């Protein structure tokens, strides 16, 4: 009979037996898997673990601070915070092709991590938050069965060059098990049950060339959108309008959607404010419902919620005077815009 507390005890024992007194290094991304792996390994070996958090400046609003708050301050994990924003922005300058952007971000991530890892010459192990579906997917990739048309980056390729042994304590777990484990280990449920976030981050949500100025606008718009989704619960009226089922009444629209985010469009449109005209950027918002992310429907959010989101973004985010809602399904559109 499998239970989470006994899984934790066994995993802790296994990690201790595996690494002995060696030092372990882990790339913290802010995502659920690497976060849970860090919390678990820290529980097992404490200060023998060093996490390297590479901040590429393309994370969610205030996410860098939150990662440090959770791990360094709250859990007492040793975390090296590398602010690599300028390095990433520099390499992305002038690049507009989506796949080229992904490759640059993936490679810069590996370079920065490798540099930091190299400075911790004592480390013998590289820990990763690989979960069971990743194991399956990469097995598929080796036999040419990968169906992904986008290069989904992670820290693959590191072990060879760094000459480290791999520690992957989540290899046998499905995502829902990883989430339960995270809560068991004391991570904030709100963080553990977050929507997925792509590795290249806002790099693929800023269409075309990535600029720090655009990233800041997008982070703020996205934060407003997500806050409204979290704070707005489905009502009986929504159920009557067939926007949700009776059982879903009382749940937040964040929980009723699978993924939701803002997209920065490098396009200016005319608006009016007071006596004057404005000429500012457009932000698109997208919310989808899906089981497997291979196909997806756009979410039928209540008009009142969409209206509030639009008003707040335009009023609170400098540089934006128009908000549009994406009503495209996958296929033929993808979930991300790039
Ligand atoms: P698409 O846009 O292909 O997205 O419909 C399907 C799911 O994959 C995520 N996604 C990515 N995740 N690196 C990632 O780690 C990427 O380059 C990437 N591109 C898309 C997307 O957020 C959605 O959940």
- pLDDT in tens for each of the 338 residues of the chain? 678 889 999 999 999 999 999 999 999 988 999 999 999 999 999 999 999 999 999 999 999 999 999 999 999 999 999 999 999 999 999 999 999 999 999 999 999 999 988 888 789 999 999 999 999 887 766 554 433 444 444 444 565 667 899 999 999 999 999 999 999 999 999 999 999 999 999 999 999 999 999 999 999 999 999 999 999 999 999 999 999 999 999 999 999 999 999 999 999 999 998 899 999 999 999 999 999 999 999 999 999 999 999 999 999 999 999 999 999 999 999 999 99
State the CATH number of the domain containing residue 305: 3.30.300.10
Domain closes at, from 169, 192, 215: 192
The model's pTM is 0.92
> What is the whole-number distance in angstroms between the Cα of residue 300 and the centre of ligand 1?
21
Is residue 304 a part of any domain in this protein?
Answer: yes
Same structural domain for residues 105 and 49? yes
Q: Which of 131, 163, 192 is the last residue of a domain?
A: 192
Would you say residue 246 lies in a domain? yes
Of the residues 133, 207, 335, 337, which should be mutated to test ligand 1's pocket, given the most ligand atoms within 8 Å of the CB?
Answer: 335
Specify whether 178 is located in the same domain as 237.
Answer: no
If asked whether residues 183 and 232 sit together in one domain, one would say: no
Cβ atoms of 298 and 286 closer than 8 Å:
yes
Question: What is the predicted ipTM?
Answer: 0.99
In a domain? residue 299? yes
33 labelled ligand-binding: yes
252-276: pLDDT as tens digits? 999 999 999 999 999 999 999 889 9
Are residues 91 and 131 part of one domain? Answer: yes
Question: 78 lies in a domain?
Answer: yes
Are 233 and 112 members of one domain?
Answer: no
* Cα→Cα distances 176→4, 74, 170, 194, 293, Å: 12, 24, 12, 12, 15
Whether residues 171 and 212 fall in one domain: no
Which of 192, 224, 249 is where one domain is finished? 192
Range(s) of the domain holding residue 66: 4-192
Q: Are 70 and 169 in the same domain?
A: yes
Is the CB of residue 150 below 6 angstroms from any atom belonging to ligand 1? yes
- 20 & 88 share domain: yes
Which uninterrupted H or E stretch holds 264?
A: strand 259-273
Cα–Cα nearest to 192, from 209, 205, 175: 175
Domains held by the chain: number? 2
Residues 225 and 109 reside in one and the same domain = no
Asked whether residue 50 is assigned to any structural domain, the reply reads yes
Residue range 94-135, pLDDT digits in tens: 999 999 999 999 999 999 999 988 888 789 999 999 999 999
Listed in sequence order, the residues at least 6 apart from 94 whose beta carbon sits closer than 8 Å to its beta carbon are 209
Q: 130 with 24, same domain? A: yes
| Residue 294 alpha carbon to ligand 1 centre in Å | 10
Pocket test for ligand 1, best of 60, 137, 148, 152 (most atoms within 8 A of CB): 152
At residue 137, the pLDDT reads 80
Q: What is the CATH number of the domain that holds 130?
A: 3.40.50.620
Whether the Cβ atoms of residue 52 and residue 116 lie closer than 8 Å to each other: yes
């Amino acid at each position: 009979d499998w239970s989470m507390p006994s899984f934790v005890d066994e995993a802790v024992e296994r990690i201790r037996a595996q690494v002995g007194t060696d030092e372990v290094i882990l790339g913290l991304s802010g995502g659920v898997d690497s976060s849970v792996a860090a919390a678990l390994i820290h529980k097992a070996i404490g200060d023998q673990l060093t996490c390297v958090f590479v901040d590429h400046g393309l994370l969610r609003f205030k996410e860098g601070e939150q990662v440090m708050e959770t791990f360094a301050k709250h859990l007492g994990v040793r975390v090296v915070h590398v602010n690599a924003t300028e390095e990433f922005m520099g390499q992305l300058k002038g690049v507009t092709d989506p796949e080229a952007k992904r490759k640059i971000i993936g490679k810069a991530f590996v370079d920065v991590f490798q540099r930091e890892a190299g400075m911790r010459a004592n480390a013998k192990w590289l820990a990763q938050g690989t979960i069971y579906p990743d194991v399956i997917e990469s097995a598929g990739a080796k036999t040419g069965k990968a169906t992904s048309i986008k290069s989904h980056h992670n820290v693959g390729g590191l072990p060879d060059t760094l000459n480290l042994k791999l520690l992957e304590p989540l290899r046998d777990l499905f995502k829902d098990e990883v989430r339960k484990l995270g809560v068991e280990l004391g991570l904030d449920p709100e963080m553990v049950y977050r929507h997925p976030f792509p590795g290249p981050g806002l790099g693929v949500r800023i269409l075309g060339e990535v600029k720090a100025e655009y990233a800041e606008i997008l982070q703020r718009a996205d934060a407003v959108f997500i806050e409204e989704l979290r704070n707005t619960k489905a009502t009986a009226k929504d159920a009557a309008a067939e926007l949700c089922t009776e059982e879903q009444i009382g749940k937040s629209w964040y929980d009723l959607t699978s993924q939701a985010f803002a997209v920065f469009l490098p396009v200016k449109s005319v608006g009016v404010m007071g006596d004057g005209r404005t000429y500012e950027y457009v932000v698109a918002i997208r919310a989808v419902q899906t089981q497997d992310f291979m196909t997806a429907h756009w979410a039928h959010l209540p008009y009142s919620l969409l209206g509030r989101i639009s008003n707040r973004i335009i009023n609170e985010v400098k540089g934006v005077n128009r908000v549009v809602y994406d009503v495209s399904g996958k296929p033929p559109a993808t979930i991300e815009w790039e």
